[in-house]
Chain A
Amino acid sequence: MPDEVIDCRGQRCPLPVIAAARRMPEVPVGTVVRVLADDPAAAVDIPAWCRMRGHEYLGSVNGPEGPAYDVRRTH
């Protein structure tokens, strides 16, 4: 389960990625942040951002709140 959730529903890419990037330095290393994002580009861009920044992409879930992407801060 995620430690916290960022709601980026209704936002177009790159805004969900930017929101995740802004939040990441504020949470402790090891924290799992879930990004809720209904822009289809988030499915491509959140994993790609994790790869570029060296954070761990844990995968996507499609729950009642729509598509969500889990990221663990690793450094």
Chain B
Amino acid sequence: MTDSTVVGSLSTPHRGLPSHTAAIPSLPVSASPVYLDAATAAPMHPVARQALLAALDDGWADPGKLYTQARRARQLLDAAREATALTLGVRADEVSFTPSGTTAAHGAVLGGLAGRRRVGSTLVHSAIEHSAVLHAAERHVAGGGTATAVPVDRSGRLDLTAWSTAVRAPGVALAALITASHEVGTVQPVAEAASACADVGVPLYVDAAQSVGRVPLPAGWSVLTASAHKWGGPPGVGVLAVRKGTRWESPWPADERESGRTPGVVNLPAVVAAAASLRAAAADAAAEASRLEPLVDRIRARVAAEVPDVEVVGDPVLRLPHLVTFSCLYVDGEALLHALDRRGFAVSSGSSCTSSTLRPSHVLEAMGVLSHGNVRVSLHRETTEADVERFLTELPGIVAGLRAEAGVVGL
């Protein structure tokens, strides 16, 4: 899934503070890389690698054909679908594999709207949906439909009263809610939002990209999407689950594959790897959450205590186990990412200078929190306590160096 918070190309000229690099020591060759951007893409799970290699030998044929090689491919695809359905708690025929999490989200939104166009043409969504959902909403509006964005509070949690009012309005075809914010980690009140939708017969689509394989899924949804590279599967595999009885109609040109929900032959080796790694990730999810939650608590506490003028954002309790976001006052987000990168730390940012559009993150904007100097840290199964400690040890000096260089100390 493309992510609005991904840092721009390293070759992009810096657009903020001039000559910010001088105060930062250059990267020693020995600084080992610490990857802290799992919310964009988690490192591939060893099970995924193993399954991918095996499936390259057995899964190259078109599973829709009627010869031996195709039947072998079909068996692999069926097994992947069964395993994924089991983890999601749905029936196998409710699951389709898509070419990415983004196309799954596009299909969920546009297909959910198409299936209920006789009821109306309004999409209700939270203000903090992933850009893939918002881009599908823009397409819907450009085609004559309407979209209602429901606000969140300062912690990034959905305003349930506004949500209930919005879904009750006449002509609502679909409601979309992210299970937990991909930018700040705040878990959304999906069960309550689903109940408000059920009261008025509006189907609920949940973008579960940050939850699947990590935390238990909420109940009450009609359509769900996820993205394999968020849980340690390969990039280029999305999941679209449509519950039985949901009025959902494919927005794409007709194709019989994947129950008609997404066109084109699937990347079967990648799908097999995605399913195998999902099963592995889900099996370890509770233990991993217990391991990562205290590390995120430590980051929240230490960043707030040891970096002056910092705002740690998102709900401190009702949050994802692996993700934390903070903003450093007077610091340029792009300069901060590059300074961290030079010290071996890979993180993401919602600051405007790090986005290709030069707009601040719509999530931080909706929350009304500082958008510059923003850093999102997201942990994964390979993240160690030592990685987190090194980050926490180096961060205050890196921020102080940037502030000294910009002449903003004491402001």
Binding site for B on A (CB under 8 A): 12-15, 17-18, 21-22, 39-41, 43-45, 47-49, 52
Task: State in angstroms the CA–CA spacing of A21 and B329 once bound together.
Answer: 11
Task: Check A18 against B408 for contact (C-beta < 8 Å).
Answer: yes
- 3 tightest A-B CB contacts, nearest first: A14-B372, A21-B411, A41-B352
Q: Is the interface of A mostly helix, strand, loop or mixed?
A: helix
Task: Check B360 against A52 for contact (C-beta < 8 Å).
Answer: no
Q: Which residue of B lies closest to A25 (CB)?
A: B411
Residues of chain B with a CB closer than 8 A to A47's CB: 368
Residues of chain A with a CB closer than 8 A to B327's CB: 48
Task: Check A12 against B15 for contact (C-beta < 8 Å).
Answer: yes
Task: State in angstroms the CA–CA spacing of A40 and B361 once bound together.
Answer: 10
Point out the residue from B17, B311, B411 that lies within 8 Å of A22, measured CB to CB. Answer: B411
Interface size (B, Cβ < 8 Å)? 27
Residues of chain A with a CB closer than 8 A to B331's CB: 14
Task: Check B311 against A48 for contact (C-beta < 8 Å).
Answer: yes
Q: What's the least CB distance linking B278 to chain A, in Å? A: 36
B:365-384 near A, CB below 8 Å? 365, 368-373
Task: Check A52 against B309 for contact (C-beta < 8 Å).
Answer: yes
Residues of chain A with a CB closer than 8 A to B360's CB: 13, 40-41, 44-45
Task: State in angstroms the CA–CA spacing of A12 and B411 once bound together.
Answer: 18
Q: Which of B15, B359, B371, B406 has the most CB of A within 10 A?
A: B371
Residues of chain B with a CB closer than 8 A to A17's CB: 329-330, 372
Task: Check A12 against B371 for contact (C-beta < 8 Å).
Answer: no
Residues of chain B with a CB closer than 8 A to A18's CB: 330, 406, 408, 411
Task: Check A44 against B330 for contact (C-beta < 8 Å).
Answer: no
Q: What's the least CB distance linking A17 to chain B, in Å? A: 7
